[in-house]
Amino acid sequence: MRGVPANNSTVTRYCRKDVTKPGGDRLVDAVVAYGSAEGIAQRLRQHVAAGADHVAVQVVESDRLLPVLTALAAPLGLDSQAPPAGR
């Protein structure tokens, strides 16, 4: 996979097959949240519970950006109708 140095596989729980193109299912399952809005929100909360202070969300289907983010708002406890902070 691009951006994941293959020689780092020796210090992680992933083997060379997991980190070289096209990548292994174990690595993808570990770093990509997919499924229902509640399932994705649960994965994001797991990252925070594990110590993350920031969790990035990238919607793969760019033509569905707003609907997907709106669907995630409720399970994450965010008010999708609230104006952005500072406004």
Residue 5 has pLDDT above 80, yes or no: no
Residue 1 has pLDDT above 50, yes or no: no
Centroid of chain to Cα 56: 6
| Tokens 């993350």 found at | 52
Distance CA 51, CA 75 (A): 20
- In one-letter notation, the amino acid at residue 79 is D
Q: What is the pLDDT of residues 47-78, one digit of tens each?
A: 899 999 998 899 988 899 999 999 999 999 88
Q: How confident is the model at residue 29 (pLDDT cuts 50, 70, 90)?
A: confident
pTM: 0.66
